[in-house]
A and B are shown apart, each in its own frame.
Chain A
Amino acid sequence: MKSSKKILIGVIIAAVIVCIGASVGSTYISIYDTLRIIVEKIFSIHLTEGIEMRDVSIVWTLRLPRVLLAFIIGGSLAMGGAVIQSVLKNQIASPYILGVSSGATLGAALIMLTGFTIPLIGGFTLPLTGFLFGLLTVYIVISLSSKLDRTMSNNTIILFGMVFTLFIGALLTTLLALFREELRNLIYWQMGSFALKGWSYVRLMLPFFVIGTLGILRYTREMDILTFGEEQAKSVGVETEKVRRRLFVFSTILSGAAVSLSGVIGFVDLIAPHMARKIVGSNHRYVIPMSFILGGSLMVVTDLIARTIVSPSELPVGAITALIGAPFFAWVYFKKK
């Protein structure tokens, strides 16, 4: 089957998953009613005759924005992962390993602890700081590894990323020890959750998502060429350093903003690109959108599990992704071997 057809099927399945996500929860609301509510709200047609206002509120104000946010964040993390894996030619690389998540966590924690808001941009302060700290981390990792190793071998970058992640982890621990009052909030936030994150969060994430995605999609061809090796890429005229740098920035925009809005959610950036390549092959024109579809769908499903498995209580989604993600990753890895 053609890759474009596979993507189309992926889109349809993702749409179904979104609908299921919006209609399942601690309250039962049928998919038909859910669709009626969504269509009424979007097209301002009166369709919700006989549906309780409470259910309308649950679907439109609580579930749909949550499901969409989960999809966009899962998708963004997955695209970020796909780019980093391709640029570093390493299948276990991810923004997380390069320190984006820990950098963004530190930035977001500082904002949460100080309550600081940049005038004019208000709520954007959090994702923007997350992105800037993530970017700063990647910049430090890359510049340090290029000083040590002129060829910037992938192993050096990954090693530096991990060391730096540990260093930032230590900074964060120190910060937590100093602000023990906020310890509980910060720890909970670090676990990752989409609880009570309405449309405002979707709106906050959108610009980062659009810029990051468009930026990455511009370089799909270069990513294909880069997979054949640096020399080969240079010989066909790809400015490898520049392309790499830009790709790092765009994937950081996606992952940094995602982490600062939802907390740390691991494994999606590792698993989704893997699955995407299995399905559509190695052409990045397909790998990137497929990673988005799979990452988003995976996130919606895990969030659904997180909020229904011990209903009426909720679990942090980060715990569920790790519970599902780690064994899944091991399975994929050993199967390949």
Chain B
Amino acid sequence: MNKFSALFAAALLLAGCGGNNARLVTDRGGNSVAISGPVNKVISTAPSSTEILVDLGLADKLTAIDKYSLGVRGVNQDLPLIDFFFPDAEVIIGLNPDVIISNGHNKIGAGDDPFKLIREAGISVVYIPLSSDIDGICGDIEFIADLMNVPDRGKELVRSFKSQIDEIAAIGNTIEDKKTAYFEISPAPELVTIGRNTYLHEMMTIIGTVNIFSDQIGVIFPGAESILERNPDVIITNIQERYNPVGEIKNREGFEYINAVKNNAIYLVDTNSAARPSARIVLALRQMAKAVYPDKYEKF
């Protein structure tokens, strides 16, 4: 892919197509991608990238989005929607975007690059794998800002994002008797949580809790027994409200002896802000902090 992109870029330069404006960028997956001319039409394939674009003040550059991006505050509701599990190459090429921002999840299940045909049609596709920590999210923001030729806005967004996190971390660091916590991403019967090397784990650490699965790495599927054994003081979840996650966890058979359930310490945080690696995770971070240590984070 790298070779192809480089050759493609060279061909572009030699042919004079795009003229002096063509430039090579290294995307978040490490691929070199040629971008010709200013970027005015962008297709975003994931709500996290859409959020970053909107936060950079670039909502008007969006040409098409995935259906989950439709819910992002500030997005034009009339934009064409594209199914990125099975992207329709004809529709995408027809929209003639300057760049497509593809994401980690676009590669799931496809087994191959779903944008191969689109690249071959001469459209630039940059790739952003799922970031595993907050620094990674900052990198994504700066990358998109650079790509869109607004590096200063990117730096400003990162600065304000980091300063909000630092404010919370400053309190989190002072907490001595840290509560143990379990973060549930998917409801019973298939429980899903996270270990180290995830931004959610980092968020749990920042607010001053200890993840009960910090001996594990990445996304894990814990058995109910192992949660009982590790007996968390609090349970945080971002499962959609329509599933009544707090009630379901509270009444889950066998969970009645878990400290968090006994003490009614099960907290629901905003589904999207916790699930999408963009600057908007700060909302979930505040909700988590206030829920777990209400007296410490009074002012938030």
**Would you call B221 and A26 a contact (CB within 8 A)?**
no
Q: How far is the CA of A111 from the CA of B213 in the complex (A)?
A: 34
Q: In chain A between 52 and 83, which residues have their CB closer than 8 angstroms to a CB of chain B?
A: 53-54, 56-58, 61-63, 65
- Which one of B16-24, B114-122, B224-232 is at the interface? B224-232
Q: Mark B205-229, 1 if CB is under 8 A from A, else 0.
A: 0000000010010001111111011
Instruction: Give the segment of A193-201, A248-256, A288-296 that binds chain B.
Output: A193-201
Inter-chain CA distance A313–B223, complex, in Å, is: 6
Report if A179 contacts B (CB, 8 A): no
Q: Contacts of B189 on A, CB cut-off 8 Å?
A: 193, 195-197
Q: How far is the CA of A63 from the CA of B58 in the complex (A)?
A: 53
Q: Does A311 contact B (CB under 8 A)?
A: yes
Q: What is the distance, in angstroms, from B219's C-beta to the closest C-beta of chain A?
A: 10
A185 beta carbon closer than 8 Å to chain B: yes
As a 0/1 sequence over residues 167 to 203 of chain B, the CB contacts with chain A under 8 angstroms (1 = contact) are: 0000000000000000000101111000000000000
**Contacting pair B257 A312 (CB below 8 A):** no
The A interface, classified by DSSP as helix, strand, loop or mixed, is: helix
Over the window 135-150 of chain A, the binary record of Cβ atoms lying under 8 Å from chain B Cβ atoms (1 yes, 0 no) is 0000000000000000
Chain A: which residue is nearest B186 at the CB level?
A: A184
- Whether A27 pairs with B228 at a CB distance below 8 angstroms is yes
Establish whether residues A26 and B253, one from each chain, have CB atoms under 8 Å apart when the complex forms: no
Find the A residue at minimum CB distance from B109.
A183
Q: Are B221 and A57 in contact (CB under 8 A)?
A: no
Pair A58/B225 contact, Cβ less than 8 Å: yes
| Residue contact A199 to B190, C-beta cutoff 8 Å | no
Q: A58-B229, A188-B190, A312-B213 are in contact. Are A198 and B253 (CB under 8 A)?
A: yes
A180 at interface (Cβ–Cβ under 8 A)? yes
Q: Which of A53, A195, A200 contacts B190 (CB 8 A)?
A: A195
Does any Cβ of A come within 8 Å of B254's Cβ? Answer: yes
CB contact under 8 A between A61 and B253, given known A307-B223, A312-B226:
yes
A62 contacts B257, C-beta separation under 8 Å: no
Contact across chains for B216 and A312 when beta carbons are under 8 A apart: yes
Chain B residues within 8 Å of A195, by CB: 188-191, 223-224
Minimum C-beta distance from B128 to chain A (A): 22
List of B residues within 8 angstroms of A65 by Cβ: 253
- Does A215 interact with chain B (Cβ within 8 Å)? no
Cα of A57 to Cα of B221 in the assembled complex, Å: 21
Q: Are A314 and B222 in contact (CB under 8 A)?
A: yes
Is B135 part of the contact surface with A, judged by Cβ < 8 Å? Answer: no
Residue of B188, B222, B253 touching A312 (CB-CB under 8 A): B222
CB distance from B179 to the nearest CB of A (A): 18
Q: Decide: A193 near B213, CB < 8 A? Known: A26-B226, A62-B228.
A: no
Does residue A25 face the partner (Cβ distance < 8 Å to B)? yes
Bound Cα distance from A54 to B131, whole angstroms: 37
Given the complex, which residues of B lie within 8 Å of A193, measured CB to CB?
A: 189-190
Q: Complex Cα distance A322/B219, Å? A: 25
Contact: B228 with A312, CB < 8 Å? no
**Bound complex: CA of A41 vs CA of B298, how far in Å?**
45
The answer for the CA separation of A99 and B230 in the assembled complex, in Å, is 43
Closest chain B residue to A315 by CB distance?
A: B221
Tell me how far the C-beta of B265 lies from the nearest C-beta in chain A, rounded to whole angstroms.
17
Q: Are B254 and A26 in contact (CB under 8 A)?
A: no
Q: Are B225 and A63 in contact (CB under 8 A)?
A: yes
- What's the nearest-Cβ distance from chain B to residue A46, in Å? 18
A26 partner residues in chain B, CB cutoff 8 A: 223, 225-226, 229
Residues of B close to A188: CB separation below 8 A: 190
Complex contact A311–B226 (CB within 8 A): yes
A54 touches B191 (CB 8 A): no
B218 to chain A, nearest CB (A): 11
Residues of A within 8 A of B216 (CB): 312-313
Q: Which chain A residues in 148-207 approach chain B with CB under 8 Å? A: 180, 184-185, 188, 193, 195-200
Cα-based distance from A19 to B229 in the complex (angstroms): 20
Q: In the complex, what's the smallest C-beta–C-beta distance from A308 to chain B, in angstroms?
A: 8
* Chain A: CB-nearest residue to B254: A61
Chain B contacts of A62 at CB under 8 A? 224-225, 228, 253-254
- What would 12 A/B residue contacts be, using CB atoms closer than 8 Å? A26-B223, A27-B229, A57-B228, A57-B256, A58-B225, A62-B224, A63-B225, A185-B190, A196-B191, A199-B253, A200-B253, A312-B216
Binding site for B on A (CB under 8 A): 25-27, 53-54, 56-58, 61-63, 65, 180, 184-185, 188, 193, 195-200, 307, 311-314
Q: Give the 9 A-B CB pairs with smallest separation, nearest first.
A: A312-B226, A61-B254, A198-B253, A196-B189, A62-B254, A27-B229, A314-B223, A26-B226, A57-B257
Q: What 20 new A-B contacts, CB under 8 Å, besides A27-B229, A193-B190, A195-B189?
A: A25-B225, A27-B226, A56-B257, A57-B228, A57-B256, A58-B254, A61-B256, A62-B253, A195-B188, A195-B223, A196-B188, A196-B253, A197-B189, A198-B254, A307-B225, A311-B226, A312-B220, A312-B223, A313-B223, A314-B221
